[in-house]
Chains A and B, each alone.
Chain A
């Protein structure tokens, strides 16, 4: 349902943000030691407690720690148990269906009062690309994957587009709450929650705020029990406080390094790396590698300037992936001239003493001069003519 994604934060951070914007959440706090966890549990004084491992991935409940402890979410009763559970989770690696085999290191746990749930609902605010508006999406089927609900029971999903110039109005929130069959005595809290979620979406420049589940509790409350928030990276300059929530340990180190050089790098599973100027051309380059029987190792857009410094950094990042057996550089020089790029590539190749096959395809402004520079360099660089030729050459080079 979410159409753009950006920076992620932890559940406990999302919970704090939501609470600040008026969304009811269960009482609780985050801990990074078993002692703190126990103290928090004692202070809550609740008959039943929940402890949740904090990582940027879903499926924690059904996850498995590498040392054999099962589950990243546990309901329990006493602060002593909180301490024991925290000791088993903290400093350990949790593997879920979303983390991949390597899993994620758990450095924090969230401890909250456990709420007895009468009914689980779903609520999200996201961006509807087709109408260019925020849209509130809600469903009576909470706790499930919303895509699955959309597929199986489309009638159970309510969509409410909001005029961004006017914002979500209280009556709209009440209508929505009634559509979710929330009892009238809880209408005030429910519509307040819906408005709080919308307010979070707008004030924090989010691309998605998802409450799943939004719960009706047996003691007559309506609360956000779990939340996922994505932010628009382009708006982070307005939100210092949110930027400070970024957890680099949850991100791929190569992608973090790439972002320092304004390189757009995404690691994939193949063995042919590529370096391209422009996002569309970079995707198209991956596609043509695959078309000729290869597997792309990454997406990498070096952007418009492709200076020697950028290209050198890009080669280093590409080669940090040990699966890479060859590299294809594909540059369409527009304003940026191919002869200058060729010299930059060669300087980078010399500096890092490249040891895998490299195919370079230069097209556009001064491409003839660029190709000549590559061919006459005396370095082990293969020059290609056209996209198809380039893809075929690199696929062949990694196979031999």
Chain B
């Protein structure tokens, strides 16, 4: 009933003894996520919230607890190293929340992930994370790995993939308010070089028997939305809706996200919308009707 994560996922938190890591680890625990270990070099042997053991290395946490996913709250200068530590330990899924990682560091990370055979899937960096809503109160009982508020979600059958944080919350909340639940929601992050792409996530949703429709939230910069549109055109029979942020963004300026920039006339919202329309994707004309656009597709 989901992709990538579910209530069985065993999660370790890198940077669990830090302010942000600790705060969000607590919220994930409250949601019902299986946070089984924390990692902070030099703090091995401590216990987080009297229940989560802390280790010095990812390798130890994986060996002792069989963790299969990690979420990273490590400060930007050290975050690339934390991702590589997960790749080396053979983790299947790494979610990097950290914002502000140097783009050259991410080039190296991407190359090493590929060289290692692509066994590790990376979500982010600079992203809200991933959530598979559960059926308990405020959608608890599922798996929330990230910084998104859990209660805005509702278990259901629409897959959501987005480059943004709060704009994703906006979309999810519109769906939930309309009574439309989500199978899994993924924030892939706003950096120019990142892990899973729109296309990768759409391919996973396409194969998921419990996802009926897909909502993609893109923005200016790069060509990820165009590549996703091509993929949808060739492979996806499920209904897909999309919103692209940045129709009014001026060229040559970085709109908050490091990856959100129109350069050399490329990466405009108009180009992306055109590619999507030609792939039969339903476009939400304004951010106020993202949920409504999905509802119309579901009929």
Chain B residues, Cβ within 8 Å of A237: 77
Q: Which residues of A from 242 to 281 have beta carbons under 8 Å from B?
A: 264, 266, 268, 276-281
Chain B residues, Cβ within 8 Å of A164: 104, 107-108, 111
Pairwise interchain contact A147-B252, C-beta atoms closer than 8 A? no
Q: Which residues of A from 3 to 35 have beta carbons under 8 Å from B?
A: 3-6
Interface-lining segment among B40-48, B55-63, B146-154, B200-208 = B146-154
Pairwise interchain contact B102-A238, C-beta atoms closer than 8 A? yes
- Separation in Å of the B31 CB from the closest CB of chain A? 12
Number of CB contacts from chain A to chain B under 8 A: 197
Pairwise interchain contact B246-A287, C-beta atoms closer than 8 A? yes
Pairwise interchain contact A284-B245, C-beta atoms closer than 8 A? yes
Whether a CB of chain A sits under 8 angstroms from the CB of B27 is: yes
- Separation in Å of the A304 CB from the closest CB of chain B? 8
Give the bracket for the number of chain A residues in contact with chain B.
35 or more
Q: How far is the CA of A174 from the CA of B100 in the complex (A)?
A: 36
Pairwise interchain contact B223-A287, C-beta atoms closer than 8 A? no
Chain B residues, Cβ within 8 Å of A365: 149, 151
Q: How far is the CA of A5 from the CA of B166 in the complex (A)?
A: 23
- Separation in Å of the A249 CB from the closest CB of chain B? 19
Bitwise, B238-272 to A at CB < 8 A (1) or not (0) is 00000101111110111111111101110101000
Pairwise interchain contact B111-A3, C-beta atoms closer than 8 A? no
Chain A residues, Cβ within 8 Å of B297: none
Chain B residues, Cβ within 8 Å of A234: 76, 100-103, 258
Pairwise interchain contact B249-A4, C-beta atoms closer than 8 A? no
Pairwise interchain contact A278-B102, C-beta atoms closer than 8 A? no
Please, which residue of chain A has its CB at the minimum distance from the CB of B99? A234
Whether a CB of chain A sits under 8 angstroms from the CB of B286 is: yes
Q: How far is the CA of A266 from the CA of B248 in the complex (A)?
A: 12
Please, which residue of chain B has its CB at the minimum distance from the CB of A208? B263
Chain B CB within 10 A, most for which of A4, A127, A205, A235: A4
Pairwise interchain contact A1-B149, C-beta atoms closer than 8 A? no
Pairwise interchain contact A165-B103, C-beta atoms closer than 8 A? no
Give the residue of B76, B110, B249 whose beta carbon is less than 8 angstroms from that of A299: B249
Interface-lining segment among A72-80, A189-197, A213-221, A288-296 = A288-296
Whether a CB of chain A sits under 8 angstroms from the CB of B124 is: no
Known: A3-B192, A129-B192, A280-B245. A232 touches B164 (CB 8 A): no
Pairwise interchain contact A235-B104, C-beta atoms closer than 8 A? yes
Chain A residues, Cβ within 8 Å of B148: 334
Pairwise interchain contact B249-A280, C-beta atoms closer than 8 A? no
Chain A residues, Cβ within 8 Å of B115: 165
Give the residue of B24, B223, B256 whose beta carbon is less than 8 angstroms from that of A264: B256
- Separation in Å of the B226 CB from the closest CB of chain A? 10
Q: How far is the CA of A188 from the CA of B168 in the complex (A)?
A: 53
Chain B residues, Cβ within 8 Å of A5: 252-254, 261, 263
Known: A235-B102, A287-B247, A388-B286. A364 touches B107 (CB 8 A): no
Chain A residues, Cβ within 8 Å of B254: 4-6
Pairwise interchain contact A281-B166, C-beta atoms closer than 8 A? yes
Chain B CB within 10 A, most for which of A164, A202, A205: A164
Whether a CB of chain A sits under 8 angstroms from the CB of B67 is: no
Pairwise interchain contact B164-A235, C-beta atoms closer than 8 A? no
Q: How far is the CA of A2 from the CA of B221 in the complex (A)?
A: 11
Please, which residue of chain A has its CB at the minimum distance from the CB of B110? A132
Whether a CB of chain A sits under 8 angstroms from the CB of B32 is: no
Give the residue of A165, A238, A280, A296 whose beta carbon is less than 8 angstroms from that of B108: A165
Known: A283-B260, A335-B149. A266 touches B253 (CB 8 A): yes
Whether a CB of chain B sits under 8 angstroms from the CB of A130 is: yes
Pairwise interchain contact A332-B104, C-beta atoms closer than 8 A? no
Q: How far is the CA of A126 from the CA of B190 in the complex (A)?
A: 19
Pairwise interchain contact A364-B149, C-beta atoms closer than 8 A? yes
Bitwise, B133-172 to A at CB < 8 A (1) or not (0) is 0000000000000011101100000000011111111100
Pairwise interchain contact B263-A3, C-beta atoms closer than 8 A? yes
- Separation in Å of the B205 CB from the closest CB of chain A? 20
Q: How far is the CA of A42 from the CA of B227 in the complex (A)?
A: 57
Q: How far is the CA of A278 from the CA of B152 in the complex (A)?
A: 17
Chain A residues, Cβ within 8 Å of B269: 287
Measured CB to CB, the residues of A under 8 A from B are: 1-6, 127, 129-130, 132-134, 146-147, 150, 163-165, 202, 205, 207, 232-235, 237-238, 264, 266, 268, 276-291, 296, 299, 301, 332, 334-335, 363-365, 386-388, 391
The 13 listed contacts between A and B (C-beta, < 8 Å) are A4-B254, A5-B252, A147-B264, A232-B103, A234-B258, A279-B257, A283-B248, A287-B247, A301-B256, A332-B170, A334-B152, A335-B147, A388-B288
Measured CB to CB, the residues of B under 8 A from A are: 23-24, 27, 76-77, 100-108, 110-112, 115, 147-149, 151-152, 162-170, 173, 190, 192-193, 217, 219-224, 227, 243, 245-250, 252-261, 263-265, 267, 269, 285-289
